[in-house]
Amino acid sequence: MKRWSVVEFVKVFNLSEASIIQVGDNNNNHPISKVIAVQRQVADFNGDEGNFEQFPLFKREIPLPAIHETVQTKFDNACDTIRVGTVTILGIAGSSVLQIGTNETIEAEARVKQFRQYVTGKPNSPTKNKEEQEKDEGK
């Protein structure tokens, strides 16, 4: 039996990074997100930070578990309609899927390489305490 999905109201506050809102039936979804996140205390960018090829993380094959068993299923859908009042979502990010309807497969992939670079050891650096700054200044 084919089932209907009836949702009265959907509110999504934020949708980002290869994420999908799918309303209606679909065969498969394969959202992919590749991100290089660079956070620096001082905004000094070289222009070459976005080269995915220099990081093995983005080339690696994702190992999928082997399925060695058969699963028997039985469905008894007494009603041909799934009814939902309100769906409220704060955020859909990083290759996520909100699916309203039927779908056969979802294969989502998110790869993130993060860099945090902070300035240390410079005079009057906000990362130094007052005692270290006075020592550097010869007080």
pLDDT digits 0-9 by tens, 67-85: 889 989 888 888 889 899 9
Q: Please, how many CA atoms are within 13 Å of residue 113, restricted to the half-sphere of its CB? A: 13
What is the share, in percent, of the chain residues with pLDDT greater than 90?
38
How much is the pTM?
Answer: 0.67
Cβ neighbours of residue 110 closer than 8 Å, sequence gap 6 or more: 17, 18, 32, 33, 35, 94, 95
> What's the rounded Cα separation, in Å, for the pair 90 and 67?
34
* CA–centroid distance for 79 within its chain: 35
Structure confidence at residue 133 as a pLDDT band (50, 70, 90) = low
